[in-house]
Each structure stands twice: as structure tokens, then as C-alpha cells.
Amino acid sequence: MAKKGDWVQIHIEVLKPSERAANIPEDTSHVPLEMWVKGNLIDEAAEIGDIVQITTRTGRTVSGSLCAAFPCFIHSFGEYVPELHRVDDMVKAIVFGGENNA
Amino acid sequence: MLDNSYSAVMARKNEIMKSAVGLDYNRFESGSIAFDYEGMMTATGYTIDDVRRIQMEEFAIGDSPIIELKNMTKLARACAPAGKGARIFIKDEASNLSGSFKVRRAAMSVYHAKKMGYKGVLTATSGNYGAAVAACAAKAGLSCIVVQECFDSRGIGQPEIVEKARKCEALGAEVVQLTVGPELFYMFLRLLEDTGYFNASLYTPFGIAGVETLGYEIITQFKGKYGKEPDMIVATNAGGGNLTGTARGMKKAGGSCEIVAASVNLKGLHMASDTQFNLKSFTTGHTGFGMPFSTWPDRSDVPRSAARPLRYMDRYVTVNQGEVFYITEALAALEGMEKGPAGNTSLAAAFALAQTMDKDACIVVQETEYTGAGKHVNAQLAFARHNGVDIRFGNPDDEIPGKSIILPEHPSLIKAREADINHMRASLIKNACKMIDGAPTAEDIRFLAEETKTDITFVEEHI
């Protein structure tokens, strides 16, 4: 649920698989070209999946299917990768000579 | 009402581009293969002194430090034959506004757009260039839209590209995100037409003029501190602008060092494949861009690309993903420098190349890039593992892009694998000859010799 003025994200199918360019790999040719744009909701109120209009940060009006209210970034540094400590130990041992960099 | 079908928009490409760059490319054409490259490069009207002044005074860009990596050099010497192991230096371009050398390119496009009266700038990029344009647009008070190829058809974003979207938004840009496919260009054209914004393409003469200061600074800073120019400059190569601009700037400063291109080997992965999109751990600096853009530069988003790397490169080497991740971690462990992995492609190559050079030789890696959530060695390795890529220690020669990432079990296994540059030169000549119906003219042959850094005999043998 989002109301007028809320920061939202919309989804647009730009090209159907049949409308896509020739000479693209087969896996890509079977899926549509999709687009996501963020902005402030123009409609009074909307539910996820509704076709709505938004005003983007550059002032463009764009129409699409509402897919998120208050979208945010949650990307991270990822789960622990044990190999990286082994790399550290290896190069320090070579350059500084042995454990604890003695 | 305009016809916005794929074919109709693509058919309007030239007129859209002409009004969006403010440069009539036709005036440089000969009507055959040849075109007036240097004429196009000087048509910006900005000399290198103008560019340096604009970058520094308007955008606070440039004069990034050149840092000697003494511990990395020690590590290389421990792997090298006796007497070998050149001194390794790095130009810390991450210290620039927006965190990469790309801001040098962006500054000139944004400055010119503002001067010409455009209200905003538009760029199609999934890389650091987006944040660079956004930062300069912020300073210039222009609107900015960045169009990214970001997601696969499952809606899963490459972490590195998601981070770049965050940074663009943080710097005030609107980010338009798409799934995989070359039709991004179609959407880009529609946006140019709808907004009337300037096309801040990576490949205009403005962008490349902006990179020239990087090469210029390498020579002047190095001579100032060490009394000589470096023996070799290694540049990560994708679309070719980094190498082209650096080499041109080096020459303008009177330099003559060997120029080596380096790319991450992603052989076997198709750049437009939806299912392979998130099996890549590098979204730029790789062979998937580097090879096709070298052998046919005019595949870019402008009629004639100002980035023409085969004019300037002496050698082209490739490194593997596991080697670049290893070197990125080693840079943090040994030098206290935490940087983005893609920018360390040239460092991984330099690490191997240094071992073939004498100890008193100097090798300059010409960039670093910022790091953060998503675009980090840990983030990329964790993402690859999550996608089923086999990550292990071993011999990097055994790495299969998309299937495995092999971290070297000893740094002596890191290699700079020589690409067949003459084969690439021959490909460029063949690609150029496909453009025309008849035989190349004498002017075409001279042009192709310049395009490939060869001579008339080489061109005639490969037509």
C-alpha cells in the first residue's frame, strides 16, 4: 500500500520476447526486456501490482506497475569467505617472514 | 505521435545522436573506411591545458598520488628469477571525486553540456562512470539520468551494479534499471529523445580528452619525483577509453613508455546472456568488452568512437578472475589499500609483468577504484559461491569462467597471458573492410595502419 507522494518503484515490460532484437542469445530471447524506475507516487493510493504514475527525481512522469513502496538498498559485503584469510597469511609470510610478521 | 517501436527508434539513431552530442560526425567522414580521427579529437575545442584547468578548478579532479607498492614489489621479487622484479607503482585514482578515473571523462562531458545549454545529462553505463557523471552533474547543477543493465530475468542484481545504482542515487541521479540485453541502447535513445539531455557517452572526444590528463600526470609526476618516465604503463581495458586517453596524454607530456592493456578473461561467457549475467564476477575490465571493442571500436553508442585502443597498445594481456581477487586481497594485506576488484585487473597483470623486467625498471598501474558493499572482493566471492561457482585454491590456468574461480595456491602462479595482438589487428582490418563494397582506397590503407599501430605492408597483407 502506498499513498500520494510516497517514494516507490515501478516495473515496466519494455519489449516482449517477440519484440526483442535479432541476434541475441537464445536464453535472453525467451524473456522480456524489463525496466525498473523509482519516483514519488502521483496516484492518491495504490496497491502492489496496480498500474500507477510516478514523478522521477528528474521530473519525468512514468507509468508502470507498482512493485515496491519505500524501496531501499540492502546489498552487503556478503557472507564470510574463509579463503581471504588464507591469502593474507600467505602473502604476509612471504613478504614479512613467518607467523605474526616477526 | 512518434513511433516508439524498436525498429523505428533505432532508425532515428543518427538524428537523435546528432542533437544529443552537438557534434556532426559526418564532417569527419571520407565516405569510405577512413575518417579524420585527429580532426574529431580536436573538434572539442579544448586543449589539454584547458582540460586540466576545467577538471581541477570546476570539479576538483586530478593530481591523484602515485604510490610505490614496496611490499607488492617484494612479493613479486620473491616469485621472480634473480635480478628480476620491477618496482610497482599505482596511481590512486580512487581518491578522485566519485571514486574512480571515470570522473575525468565525466567532467568534460558535463562541462560541455552545461556550456551548450543542455538541462541534463544522460548516460548508459553499469559501471563507475554513472557515479562519475552524477557527481559532476551535481556540481554543475544539471539533471542526470543513468541507464543500467542491472538484473537478470529473475530480478537478481549483480551486487557491483546495485552498489553503483546506490551511489548514483546518493549523488542525486535518477537511475533506470534494465534486465540483460543490447536493447538497453533502444531505451537510451528513447530517453535522449524524450528529455533532450546531452549524451554523456563514454566514447565522445570530450570523454577521451578527459582521460588524457591521467596519462599526462603519470609522466609529469613520475619525472618530477624519480627523474625519469616509467618503463611501462598497464591499463585495464574494456571499451578502450581508459587506454586511449592515457596513451594520448602520455604522448602529450613527451612520454614514450610501453603501453600494456589488461583484461580479465571471461572466455565462454556471452555478455548478452540472461542466464550467464550473474555468473560473471567482473562487470567491466573483461575480455567480453575488451576484445570486441578493440577490434571494432565503432560498436559504441556514438557514430565514431574516440576510444581506439589498438592505435596505442603495444601488448594485450589477460588475467583470470581468481588472480585479480587474490591481488585485491594482497593489496589490502600488504599495502593497507582496500580497493574495488575490477580496478585491480591491471595490478594483477603488472604483478606478473614486473617479474619479467629488471629490478631497476618501473611499472605504473594507472588506476584504482573505490570499494564498498557489493563491489568488494568478499561480496563478489560470496555472490559467486551463492550462484554455484566453485571457489578454491589451485592453479589459475584451470579456471573456467562461470564455473570456477581459482585462487592461486602460490602468488608465483599469477600470469599475464599474452593475447595475439596481431590477430586482433587483422580482425580490425577485416571488420573495417566489411563496411565498404569495393576495395579500400590508399587513404583507407594509411588510416588502417594508424588504427592498428602497424604499417602499410601489414595492412595490405591482411585485407
A79 falls within a domain: no
- The ipTM (two decimal places) reads 0.95
Q: Domain residues of chain B, as ranges? A: 28-54+100-205, 62-94+214-418
Position B18 confidence tier, pLDDT thresholds 50, 70, 90: confident
The three cell numbers of residue B226 are 624519480
**pLDDT score, position B2:** 85
Quick one: CA dihedral B454, B457, B462, B463, positive or negative? positive
A100 falls within a domain: no
Residue in the structure block whose three cell numbers are 585502443: B309
Position B322 confidence tier, pLDDT thresholds 50, 70, 90: very high
Whether A75 and B163 lie within 8 Å, measured CB to CB: yes
| One fold for B28-54+100-205 and B62-94+214-418 | yes
HSE-up of B315 (CA within 13 Å, CB side)? 16
Residues in a beta bridge with B323 = none
List A residues 23-62 in contact with B (Cβ-Cβ < 8 A).
24-25, 27-28, 31-39, 56-60
Position B300 confidence tier, pLDDT thresholds 50, 70, 90: confident
- Candidates B179, B329, B374; nearest CB to A88: B329
Domain containing A28: what range?
Answer: 2-74
- Find which of A84, A89, A100 to mutate to test the B interface (most B CBs within 10 Å of its CB): A84
A95 falls within a domain: no
- For B129, other C-beta atoms within 10 Å of its C-beta total 29
Q: pLDDT by residue (tens digit) across B223-247? A: 999 999 999 999 999 999 999 999 9
Contacts of B77 (CB under 8 A, 6+ apart): B84, B85, B355, B359
Q: Is some CB atom of chain A closer than 8 A to the CB atom of B188? A: no
Considering chain B, what percentage of its residues have pLDDT values greater than 70?
100
Considering chain A, what percentage of its residues have pLDDT values greater than 90?
91
**pLDDT score, position A98:** 60
- Candidates B153, B329, B373; nearest CB to A75: B373
**pLDDT score, position B166:** 98
Alpha helices in B196-255 (DSSP H): 205-226, 241-252
The three cell numbers of residue B210 are 578527459
CATH number of B28-54+100-205: 3.40.50.1100
A65 falls within a domain: yes
Task: Calculate how close chain A gets to B413, using CA atoms only, in Å.
Answer: 13
Task: Calculate how close chain B gets to A45, using CA atoms only, in Å.
Answer: 23
The three cell numbers of residue B306 are 574516440
Q: Is some CB atom of chain A closer than 8 A to the CB atom of B382? A: yes
Task: Calculate how close chain A gets to B333, using CA atoms only, in Å.
Answer: 6
A62 falls within a domain: yes
Say how far apart CA B246 and CA B223 lie, in whole Å.
Answer: 16
Average pLDDT score over residue span B321-338: 98
Position A38 confidence tier, pLDDT thresholds 50, 70, 90: very high
Please give, one letter per residue, the 3-state secondary structure of B419-450.
CCHHHHHHHHHHHHHCCCCCCCCHHHHHHHHH
Q: pLDDT by residue (tens digit) across B380-426? A: 999 999 999 999 999 999 999 999 999 999 999 999 999 999 999 99
The answer to whether residue B134 scores a pLDDT higher than 70 is: yes
**Number of structural domains found in chain A:** 1
Average pLDDT score over residue span B135-152: 98
Say how far apart CA B258 and CA B277 lie, in whole Å.
Answer: 34
Residues in a beta bridge with A3 = A45
Whether B378 and A78 lie within 8 Å, measured CB to CB: yes
Average pLDDT, chain A: 95
Give this prediction's pTM. Answer: 0.96
Contacts of A87 in chain B (CB under 8 A): 326, 329-330, 333, 407
- Contact (Cβ atoms closer than 8 angstroms) between residue A20 and residue A29: yes
The three cell numbers of residue B445 are 590503407
CATH number of B62-94+214-418: 3.40.50.1100
Please give, one letter per residue, the 3-state secondary structure of chain A.
CEECCCEEEEEEEEECHHHCCCCCCHHHHCCCEEEEEEEEECCCEECCCCEEEEECCCCCEEEEEEEEECCCCCCCCCCCCCHHHHHHHHHHHHHHHCHHHC
Position B22 confidence tier, pLDDT thresholds 50, 70, 90: confident
The answer to whether residue B361 scores a pLDDT higher than 70 is: yes
The answer to whether residue B135 scores a pLDDT higher than 70 is: yes
**pLDDT score, position B328:** 98
The answer to whether residue A102 scores a pLDDT higher than 50 is: no
Q: pLDDT by residue (tens digit) across A59-80? A: 999 999 999 999 999 999 999 9
CATH number at residue A30: 2.30.30
**pLDDT score, position B14:** 86
Whether A58 and B174 lie within 8 Å, measured CB to CB: yes
Say how far apart CA B203 and CA A34 lie, in whole Å.
Answer: 26
Angle between helices B321-335 and A83-92 (to 10 degrees): 60
In terms of CA atoms, which chain B residue is nearest residue A72?
A: B166
Say how far apart CA B308 and CA B287 lie, in whole Å.
Answer: 15
In terms of CA atoms, which chain A residue is nearest residue B332?
A: A88
Q: Which of B62, B351, B71 is nearest to B232 (CA)?
A: B351
- Contact (Cβ atoms closer than 8 angstroms) between residue B451 and residue B311: yes
